[in-house]
Amino acid sequence: MKRRISGVYFNEEYDNTEFYKITDENQTGGLIESKEYTPYAGNQSIYFSDKANILKYVIGNGTHIWKVTIPDDADVIMETYLFRTDKIILSQRQLLNDSDIWDEFTY
């Protein structure tokens, strides 16, 4: 089930949750905006996930992991295991292999 909320409400609802995005080595940090975003189609959205689910998107999606901040004026679509938005702030880039995201992974 999808749910659409504002960045302000998203930040209030998920105040104590860390979010991440996996990218390739060419991605730069800071504010990233999708110029062709539409809430009704995911192909131009910027995807991200919480720590519990980000590892579902590792294979084939990149070599780096970033911490995510959602601007208050963002439009956020909440999906089952991930979120999508029209704008995102990326910071604290790390190589996936060096990330502490693996510390809680059990296999």
C-alpha to C-alpha distance for 37 and 50, rounded to whole angstroms: 21
pLDDT at 104: 65
CA pair distance 51, 40, nearest whole angstrom: 25
Q: What is the per-residue pLDDT for 54?
A: 85
**At 91, which helix (H) or strand (E)?**
strand 87-95
User: Is residue 44 over pLDDT 70?
Assistant: yes
- Taking the whole predicted model, whether its pTM rises above 0.75 is answered as yes
